[in-house]
Structure 1
Amino acid sequence: MLNIILFGPPGAGKGTQSEFIIKKYNLTHIATGDLFRKHLSEGTDLGKLAQTYMDQGKLVPDEVVIGMVDEKVKENPNVAGFIFDGFPRTVPQAEALDALMASKGTPISGMVALDVPVDELEKRIKERGKTSGRSDDQDEQKIKTRIKVYYDETLPVANYYEQKGRFAKIHGVGEIDAIFKQICDKIESFR
């Protein structure tokens, strides 16, 4: 089973690239933002709790996120693998994800990180905000907070996987197809 973490700051292109990766490798997509919105639309307690953190541009507590991810993995027992988009965001989440997937006999294959300069991230998120309908894509302060949280709290996850020899960094600026080809080359190296 192929289990890939697609990593990078908000606006790096994870959503765009994950669509191509899903099609090529027939992976099941797990995006924590989607999980949060699903729980919100269903009115679950986990969803309401997650929204209070998301509205402030902050990270949702690990136990909430891991519970949602575990539920999604259990719902898909016979798949070719998973692509984790925007998760894990902290080293404890990475450790918990590794333990969760190992307990199911299907460890994380590797992490591909999209590296994009901050000014480009801000520009992309503002542009996306025109059509996404997400309030956090339209508020300049929330955008800056989300990017700062990534660099302060999330970036250490890359070091975690790098130390395990399961990490690849891709420059995330340029033609979408060229970036996708680089991602595929790295994914193949994890197999």
Structure 2
Amino acid sequence: MKLPPEFYRRPDPVQIARELLGKHVFSCVEGQLTGGRIIETEAYSHRGDDSLTLHLKRRGKAGQALQEPGGHAYLYKVYQRHTLFNIATNEAGKPDTVLLRAIEPLVGLDTMQLRRGASIKPNRLTAGPGMLTQALGLTPELSGTDLQSDLLWIEDHGEIVPEAQVVAGPRIGLEYAGPAAASLPWNYKWAR
């Protein structure tokens, strides 16, 4: 069952990031179904989080996704190379996001392997944010996609992630945003 819009439109991106662990993300790009279990996320808030400032200045379709009500994909390039997949959360005009950092690949493994390249080891197919978007076939052109669509969505399969298996720590690669933003413990990993 797809997660309902109300799941994403709550005001706490940290809670949403934690609750996304164990959910399953899917894409159906060019008729190819791919997906997997979410095992790492990061939260970003429009209040008191300097790391989001640069994103709020983005123009065009990618930046517009941040202003939409929660439940839309925010896809953008970093280093003009890697696409990152964030989920807009909260109400329209309150741009919070959750970055999907890693998934356990489960569906469409052959397609993921083709998209990532034959030399990529199976355990590295979706082991980082740029890797998972490549494996799922996601590009910035898909920014703004409603997660209720048949192109990109997240399902709840009823898996419970025990608190003892959740590791919270500082977000990755945010030194540019200053020590306060970089040290927020808003990165969540499912350590099984």
| TM-score for both structures, normalised by structure 2 | 0.26
- Larger relative helix fraction: 1
- Larger relative strand fraction: 2
| TM-score for both structures, normalised by structure 1 | 0.27
